[in-house]
Amino acid sequence: MMKTLCVAVVVLSLTSVCQPVSLACEKLLKPEDKGPDLSGIWYFIAMSSQSCWVPTLLNTVAWPSVRVNITSKDTPNIYNARHDIKIYGYCSNYSDTFLYQNNAMFDVDSDNAPSGEQEVLLQTGCPDCHVVKSDEFAGILVLFSRRKTVTAAELKEFETQTECLGWSKPQVFNSDHNYENCPLIDDDNIDASGLPTKFFQRLKNTYTEPLKCLAENLLYYPSVAYNWAQQGLANIWPF
Ligand SMILES: *[C@@H]1O[C@H](CO)[C@@H](O)[C@H](O)[C@H]1NC(C)=O
Ligand SMILES: *[C@@H]1O[C@H](CO)[C@@H](O)[C@H](O)[C@H]1NC(C)=O
């Protein structure tokens, strides 16, 4: 029996015609075809992953705000991305360089040659968003926008994309993007005594998420759960 999905199609075409899931998915999983203007500020809106562990842990433990400022470098198709991250009122930042070509982004080595895995930009009906699909951590999908928050319909479309992939329900990032006057997290002099309390409060309020994730993994993705457990153990006991 074919399920129908209206919301995604409404977002894409502004009509209320329902289409079979497969058609909506076919469209949503295609690479973006417009040459996007990457430069400027982007906010991380939501994240999904092949395994729900990554976004669930990220959002339960840290619930970060993330902003990236992309600037083009002198070499064509080479960009610098400055990330600002805020966790419980503390900030951190890092910069990296990437190559953008054929709707995909690549890490680069010191000669600006592509290295590592590629991240592909997928179609989105949201006019000022990007959806980036990365193969890291067994597969990650992130929704970015020029706006700090997106509409419920835009978020729903992203959720449809994650359903098309059979990935986890999206976790929404923190939308507090004030990075001014925020102590750097790697600064030794900060008073971080309040952090454990804030962390446990957050965990208390969201503890059902890891449990749901555990249940989902064991019920639907036993092999993924097994691989992750193995990888995790291998990291702890590397012999
Ligand atoms: C983004 O980067 C540009 C170029 O370095 C800079 O002029 C601008 O102030 C930055 N914006 C923010 C919000 O950091
Ligand atoms: C991080 O932010 C600090 C303070 O604004 C700045 O001095 C430093 O250069 C930044 N680091 C990176 C990698 O952008």
pLDDT (tens digit, 9 = 90+) per residue, 138-193?
A: 789 999 999 999 999 999 999 999 999 999 889 899 999 999 988 876 655 556 66
Q: Supply the pTM of this predicted model.
A: 0.75
**Which residue CA neighbors atom 4 of ligand 1 most closely?**
71
- Any domain includes 11: no
Q: Ligand 2: which atom is nearest the Cα of residue 92?
A: 1
The pLDDT value given to residue 143: 96
- What is the distance between the alpha carbons of residues 139 and 135, in angstroms, rounded to a whole number? 4
**Which residue CA neighbors atom 1 of ligand 1 most closely?**
69
Residue 93 has pLDDT above 80, yes or no: yes
| CATH number of the domain residue 40 falls in | 2.40.128.20
Q: Ligand 1: which atom is nearest the Cα of residue 40?
A: 1
From residue 131, how far is each of 56, 79, 119 by CA, in Å?
19, 18, 10
- Any domain includes 233: no
**Ligand nearest to the Cα of 97, by number:** 2
Residue 31 has pLDDT above 80, yes or no: yes
Beta strands in the chain (DSSP E): 4-5, 19-20, 40-49, 65-72, 78-87, 90-101, 104-108, 114-122, 129-134, 140-145, 171-172
- Any domain includes 231: no
Residue closest to 164 by CA, chosen among 19, 46, 47, 27:
27
- What is the distance between the alpha carbons of residues 66 and 85, in angstroms, rounded to a whole number? 5
In short, whether 7's Cβ falls inside 6 Å of ligand 1 is: no
Using most ligand atoms within 8 A of CB, pick from 70, 92, 93, 185 the residue to mutate for ligand 2. 93
- Any domain includes 21: no
Beta bridge partners of 129: 145
- Any domain includes 223: no
In short, whether 71's Cβ falls inside 6 Å of ligand 2 is: no
Structural domain range at position 174: 30-217
- Any domain includes 3: no
Q: Ligand 1: which atom is nearest the Cα of residue 69?
A: 1
* Ligand 2 geometric centre to CA of 93 (Å): 6
Question: Domain total for the chain?
Answer: 1
What is the rounded average pLDDT of the residues 195-217?
Answer: 61
Residue 6 has pLDDT above 70, yes or no: no
